[in-house]
Structure 1
Amino acid sequence: MAVKTIAGIAAGSLTFNGYLSIIKCIDSGAVFVATITNISGGVYQVTVDPQ
């Protein structure tokens, strides 16, 4: 799943358990917001919530 900033700039990708369910929801028109909650080296912890 590609991740973009609010400005539309590519920021990386997300992989997590259940990401296919999120993709199905996005394909159906749902909008989600991802928030970085922790950064440790190159590992980012993110929460993904419906908007």
Structure 2
Amino acid sequence: MGKSSEVEYVTIFVRSFRHPKTGQIIRASSFGKKAFPIKVRVKKS
């Protein structure tokens, strides 16, 4: 372990994204939503 850079998570909202396994584009509108919340890992600076 011993990583020197610290990591934090930030929630962003997206209207659509590509599914990592199937490659299909998933749209929030097809689920009756405006956007999906997605947690993203970012380095602290």
> Per the shorter chain, which TM-score range?
under 0.3
Larger radius of gyration: 2
TM-score, normalization: structure 2? 0.25
TM-score, normalization: structure 1? 0.24
More helix by share: 1
